[in-house]
Chain A
Amino acid sequence: MLLLDREGAKADVWTRVETLDLTADNVIVALAQLRDALAARRPGQHIGAAIDNTERAAALEPFFRELALIVIAFPTGYNGRGLSIARQLRERGFVGALRASGPLVSDQFPHALACGFDEIELPDDSAKRQPVEQWLDAAQRISVTYQRGYSYGAVTNILEQRRAARLAGVGNNV
Chain B
Amino acid sequence: MYRYDEFDERLVRERVAQFASQVARRIDGSLTDAEFLPLRLKNGLYLQLHSYMLRIAIPYGTLHARQLRQLARIADEYDRGYGHFTTRTNLQFNWSKLKDVPTVLGLLADVEMHCIQTSGNCIRNVTADQFAGVAYDEIEDPRPIAELIRQWSTLHPEFEWLGRKFKIAVSGATHDRAVVKSHDLGVRIVRDAKSGAAGYEILVGGGLGRTPLAAQVLREFLPREDLLAYLEATLRVYNLDGRRDNKYKARIKILVHEIGIEAFRALVEEEFARIDKARVNADPQEQARIAAYFAPPAYQDLPEVSRKLEEAQIRDPELARFVEHNLFRHKRRGYTAVTISLKPIGGTPGDMSSEQMRVVADLAEKYSFDELRVTHAQNLVLPYVRLDDVAEVYAALKAHDLATANVGQITDIIACPGLDYCSLATARSIPIAQALSKHFADPEKQKEIGEVSIKISGCINACGHHHVGNIGILGLEKKGVESYQITIGGDPSETYALGELLGPGLPAEYVPEAIDKVIAVYLAERQQGETFIEAYRRLGLDPFKAAFKEIADVVA
Contact = CB atoms under 8 A, between A and B. Distances in A.
Interface of A: 56, 77-81, 83-85, 87-88, 91-92, 105-108, 110-112, 114-115, 129-131, 134, 137, 141-150, 158-159, 161-163, 166, 171-174
B289 A115 contact: no
B480 interface: no
A129 B239 contact: no
Nearest to B148: A146
B121 A146 contact: no
Closest 7 CB pairs of A and B: A80-B161, A114-B157, A111-B157, A158-B7, A174-B292, A84-B239, A149-B279
A79 B164 CA distance: 10
17 contacts: A83-B157, A83-B160, A84-B158, A84-B239, A88-B240, A92-B274, A107-B39, A110-B157, A130-B25, A134-B30, A141-B18, A145-B155, A146-B154, A147-B157, A148-B279, A150-B156, A159-B283
Interface stretch (B9-17, B88-96, B389-397, B449-457): B9-17
A75 to B, nearest CB: 9
B236 A88 contact: yes
B162 interface: yes
Interface residues of B, number: 51
Given A158-B11, A162-B7, A81 B155 contact: no
Contacts of A130: 25, 30-31
For the residues of B in contact with A, the DSSP-based class is helix
Q: Looking at B152, B162, B240, which has the most chain A CB atoms within 10 Å of its CB?
A: B240
Interface string B274-290: 11100111110110010
B240 A150 contact: no
A46 to B, nearest CB: 28
B3 interface: yes
Given A91-B275, A146-B152, A129 B158 contact: no
Contacts of B281: 148
Interface in B127-175: 151-152, 154-163
A129 B30 contact: yes
Contact of A171 (B5, B35, B158): B5
Given A112-B157, A148-B228, 13 more contacts: A78-B121, A80-B158, A80-B161, A87-B158, A130-B30, A142-B11, A144-B7, A149-B280, A158-B8, A158-B11, A162-B289, A166-B289, A172-B289
Q: Looking at B7, B15, B29, B151, which has the most chain A CB atoms within 10 Å of its CB?
A: B7
A174 B289 contact: yes
A170 to B, nearest CB: 12
B31 A129 contact: yes
Nearest to B32: A129
B31 A105 contact: yes
Contact of B286 (A77, A129, A142, A162): A162
A108 B152 CA distance: 18
A173 to B, nearest CB: 5
Given A78-B38, A166-B285, A107 B18 contact: yes
Nearest to B151: A146
B247 to A, nearest CB: 12
Nearest to B156: A147
Interface string B417-455: 000000000000000000000000000000000000000
Nearest to B236: A84
B236 A150 contact: no
Interface in B17-60: 17-18, 21-22, 25, 29-32, 35, 38-39
Nearest to B122: A80
A83 to B, nearest CB: 5
Contacts of A171: 5
B160 A111 contact: yes
A159 to B, nearest CB: 6
A109 to B, nearest CB: 10
A28 B22 CA distance: 34
Interface in B505-531: none
Given A80-B159, A83-B157, A137-B21, A148 B35 contact: no
B554 to A, nearest CB: 49
Contact of A158 (B22, B38, B151, B283): B151
A89 to B, nearest CB: 12
A91 B21 contact: no
A102 B152 CA distance: 27
A77 B11 contact: no
A9 B430 CA distance: 54
Nearest to A162: B286
A112 B240 CA distance: 15
Contacts of B10: 143-144
Nearest to B22: A107
Nearest to B281: A148
Contacts of B239: 80-81, 83-84
A141 B236 CA distance: 25
A115 B244 CA distance: 20
A80 B162 contact: yes
B293 interface: yes
Contact of B236 (A87, A105, A108, A158): A87
A166 B156 CA distance: 24
Interface string B256-290: 00000000000000000011100111110110010
Interface in B287-304: 289, 292-293
A166 B283 CA distance: 12
Contact of A142 (B35, B155, B275): B155
A49 B3 CA distance: 47
Given A105-B35, A141-B18, A163 B286 contact: yes
A87 B31 CA distance: 27
Nearest to A113: B157
A110 B5 CA distance: 23
B161 A108 contact: yes
B116 to A, nearest CB: 11
